[in-house]
C-alpha cells in the first residue's frame, strides 16, 4: 500500500514518546468486575495497550446523532467552564460555528479560564490567518501546531501523521469525542455521531490530550491538577483509547479484531471510509461464518470522489460471505461507530482505512453498557430505514468500475 511507502520515514524524529500513564496497569482493578465476563478480554487488551487506559465506571453518556444537539450542548458547557478548556479537533474551520466557538474561548480566557488548543495545521483553512492568530495571541490561551509547516521531517512526514482526533474536555469533568469537527457542515448538514461524557472518562480524555501536548512541547505546561468528576451511581463503564504513529501495537485495529472474535449475536458497523486491511476483512468473514449477524453501513455517495470505488471494492467478497451492506442515503454519513451483542458500543474518530489505522492520531470511546448498546443499535436500525441494501443480485459493477476499484485502493489511505 502506498501510505506505508510514504510512512517509511522515522516518526521518532517528530514526536517525543511520552508514557500515557506513569502507573502500571492494574488488571486486578475492581472496575473489570463491572464488565461482562465475556467482554473482559477486550477491556484488558485495551488497558494493556500502549494507547489505552483502564476502563472507568460511573460515566453519564449522551449520544448525539446530529450537530444541532451536539453543538448546542457544547456551547452551553463551554459557557459554564470555570477552570479549563482543552480542544484537540482535526478541523477548526473559519465559518459560523467555528467563530461561535472561537469567540467563546476568547471570552472564557478573558475570565481566567485556561484554554489549550491543538491545531492540526494541514486541516484548517489558511485563507484567514487572523482567525487563528486571535487564538494564538490571546492572553491565557495556549496553542500548539501539531505539524508546523517547517517540520524537520520534510514533505513525507508532513503528509503522513495527521492529528485526526476530536477531543474537547471542560474542567476535567465533561468530555466530547466522536466524528464531528468544528465546522458548519457537521452542525447543519452531515449525519454524524458524537458523545458527551460526564465522569471519570472525561479525565482520561484529558490525559490523552496532555500526552499529545507533552509529545509536541517541553516549554508549555502540559498538565495542571484539577478535581475529577465523581462517578455516577448508575453510570456506564467507559474506556478511552488513543492510537497513532507512536503506538506500535495499534490498539484500535486490535480492538476491532478482538471484538469481532468475541461477538456472538451481531456486529453492526458504520464508517464513511471502509478500506480495512485484509486481516479485518477476514475477521468480519470469520464472525459471519460463526453465525454472527454482521452488517456494514457506508455512505451512498462519498465526499471524496474516488472513495465510492474504494469502498465498493470489498462488496462482492463480503456479500458472498453473507455480510449485509447498506448505503446510507444523503445527508452524507460521517460517523465512525460499531455496536455488538446489546452490550458493547464504540464511537470515535477512526476511519477503517490504512491512514487512520496505521498513521493518524485517533481516538475511540468504548462503552460496556446494555442500555447504551440498545440505543446505539436503534440508531443503526433507524439509519437502515434511510439506506439501500446491496445484494449479490443487485451489485453488478461494470468492467470500468472494477478497474477503478483496484486502482483507488492504492490511494484510499493517503487522503
253-268 pLDDT, tens digit each: 999 999 999 999 999 9
Radius of gyration of the chain from its Cα atoms, rounded to whole angstroms: 21
Per-residue confidence (pLDDT) for residue 14, from 0 to 100: 52
pLDDT at residue 44 above 70?
yes
6-20, 208-222, 242-256, 335-349: least confident range = 6-20
Question: With contact defined as beta carbons under 8 Å apart, do 250 and 358 qualify?
Answer: yes
- Cα–Cα distance list, 354 to 112, 195, 197, 284, 414 (Å): 42, 24, 28, 17, 8
Q: Which of 175, 196, 184 is nearest to 53 (CA)?
A: 175
Per-residue confidence (pLDDT) for residue 236, from 0 to 100: 98
**Residue 92, φ and ψ in degrees, nearest 5:** -120, 85
Question: With contact defined as beta carbons under 8 Å apart, do 106 and 134 qualify?
Answer: yes
pLDDT at residue 121 above 90?
no
Per-residue confidence (pLDDT) for residue 221, from 0 to 100: 61
- Cα–Cα distance list, 393 to 299, 316, 334, 397 (Å): 20, 10, 27, 11
Residues 357-373: tens digit of each pLDDT: 988 999 999 999 999 99
The set of catalytic residues is: 164, 166, 171, 334, 336, 341
pLDDT at residue 355 above 60?
yes
65-74, 211-220, 262-271, 329-338: least confident range = 211-220
pLDDT at residue 343 above 70?
yes
Per-residue confidence (pLDDT) for residue 15, from 0 to 100: 62
Per-residue confidence (pLDDT) for residue 59, from 0 to 100: 98
- Dig out the grid coordinates for 250 from the structure: 495499534
118-127, 285-294, 312-321: least confident range = 118-127
Q: Indicate the helix (H) or strand (E) that contains 135.
A: helix 129-137
Cell match 455512505: residue? 299
Q: Which of 302, 305, 376 is nearest to 339 (CA)?
A: 376
pLDDT at residue 388 above 70?
yes
Beta strands in 14-136 (DSSP E): 56-64, 84-89, 114-119
Give the confidence band of 226 by pLDDT, cuts at 50, 70, 90: confident
pLDDT at residue 12 above 60?
no
pLDDT at residue 344 above 50?
yes
Cell match 479525565: residue? 203
User: Strand 114-119 vs strand 84-89: parallel, antiparallel, or unpaired?
Assistant: parallel
Per-residue confidence (pLDDT) for residue 156, from 0 to 100: 43
Per-residue confidence (pLDDT) for residue 93, from 0 to 100: 85
pLDDT at residue 231 above 60?
yes
pLDDT at residue 74 above 80?
yes
The superfamily in CATH containing domain 2-10+37-411 is Endonuclease Chain A (3.30.870.10)
**C-alpha 171: how far from chain center:** 21
Give the confidence band of 23 by pLDDT, cuts at 50, 70, 90: low
Percent of the chain with pLDDT over 90: 63
Give the confidence band of 348 by pLDDT, cuts at 50, 70, 90: very high
37-46, 73-82, 96-105, 119-128: least confident range = 119-128
Please state, rounded to an integer, the average pLDDT across all residues of the chain: 87
Percent of the chain with pLDDT over 70: 82
Per-residue confidence (pLDDT) for residue 245, from 0 to 100: 87
Looking at per-residue pLDDT, the higher value among 13 and 167 belongs to 167
Largest CA distance in the chain: 63
Looking at per-residue pLDDT, the higher value among 247 and 220 belongs to 247
Per-residue confidence (pLDDT) for residue 264, from 0 to 100: 98
What average pLDDT score do residues 344-352 get? 97
**Residue 332, φ and ψ in degrees, nearest 5:** -55, 130
Per-residue confidence (pLDDT) for residue 128, from 0 to 100: 72
pTM higher than 0.75: yes
Per-residue confidence (pLDDT) for residue 152, from 0 to 100: 43
Looking at per-residue pLDDT, the higher value among 374 and 139 belongs to 374
Q: Indicate the helix (H) or strand (E) that contains 362.
A: strand 362-368
Amino acid at each position: 500500500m502506498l501510505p506505508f511507502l510514504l510512512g517509511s520515514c522515522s516518526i521518532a524524529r517528530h514526536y517525543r514518546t511520552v508514557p500515557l500513564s506513569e502507573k502500571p496497569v492494574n488488571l486486578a482493578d475492581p472496575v473489570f468486575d463491572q464488565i461482562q465476563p465475556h467482554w473482559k478480554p477486550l477491556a484488558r487488551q485495551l488497558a494493556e495497550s500502549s494507547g489505552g487506559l483502564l476502563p472507568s465506571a460511573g460515566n453519564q453518556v449522551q449520544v448525539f446523532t446530529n450537530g444541532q444537539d451536539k453543538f448546542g450542548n457544547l456551547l452551553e458547557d463551554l459557557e459554564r467552564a470555570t477552570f479549563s478548556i482543552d480542544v484537540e479537533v482535526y478541523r477548526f474551520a473559519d465559518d459560523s460555528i467555528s467563530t461561535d466557538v472561537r469567540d467563546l474561548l476568547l471570552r472564557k480566557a478573558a475570565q481566567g479560564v485556561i484554554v489549550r488548543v491543538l491545531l492540526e495545521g494541514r486541516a484548517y483553512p489558511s485563507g484567514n490567518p487572523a482567525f487563528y492568530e486571535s487564538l494564538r495571541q490571546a492572553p491565557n490561551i495556549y496553542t500548539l501546531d501539531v505539524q508546523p509547516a517547517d517540520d524537520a521531517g520534510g514533505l513525507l512526514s508532513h503528509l503522513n501523521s495527521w492529528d485526526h482526533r476530536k477531543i474537547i474536555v471542560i474542567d476535567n469533568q465533561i468530555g466530547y469525542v466522536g466524528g464531528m469537527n468544528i465546522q458548519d457542515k457537521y452542525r447543519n448538514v452531515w449525519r454524524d455521531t458524537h458523545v458527551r461524557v460526564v465522569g471519570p472518562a472525561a479525565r482520561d480524555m484529558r490525559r490523552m490530550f496532555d500526552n499529545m501536548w507533552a509529545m509536541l512541547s517541553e516549554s508549555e505546561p502540559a498538565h495542571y491538577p484539577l478535581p475529577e468528576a465523581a462517578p455516577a451511581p448508575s453510570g456506564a463503564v467507559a474506556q478511552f483509547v488513543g492510537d497513532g504513529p507512536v503506538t506500535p501495537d495499534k490498539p484500535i485495529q486490535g480492538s476491532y479484531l478482538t471484538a469481532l472474535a468475541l461477538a456472538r449475536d451481531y456486529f453492526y458497523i458504520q464508517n464513511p471510509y471502509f478500506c480495512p486491511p485484509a486481516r479485518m476483512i477476514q475477521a468480519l468473514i470469520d464472525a459471519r461464518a460463526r453465525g454472527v449477524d454482521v452488517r456494514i453501513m457506508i455512505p451512498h455517495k462519498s465526499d471524496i470522489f474516488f472513495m465510492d470505488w474504494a469502498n465498493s471494492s470489498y462488496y462482492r467478497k463480503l456479500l458472498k460471505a453473507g455480510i449485509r451492506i447498506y448505503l446510507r442515503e444523503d445527508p452524507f454519513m460521517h460517523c465512525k461507530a460499531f455496536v455488538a451483542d446489546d452490550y458493547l458500543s464504540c464511537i470515535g474518530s477512526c476511519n477503517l482505512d490504512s491512514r487512520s489505522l496505521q498513521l493518524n492520531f485517533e481516538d475511540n470511546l468504548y462503552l460496556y453498557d446494555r442500555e447504551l448498546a440498545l440505543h446505539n443499535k436503534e440508531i443503526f436500525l433507524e439509519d437502515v430505514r434511510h439506506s439501500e441494501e446491496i445484494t449479490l443480485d443487485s451489485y453488478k459493477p461494470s468492467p470500468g468500475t472494477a478497474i477503478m476499484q483496484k486502482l483507488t485502493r492504492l490511494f484510499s489511505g493517503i487522503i
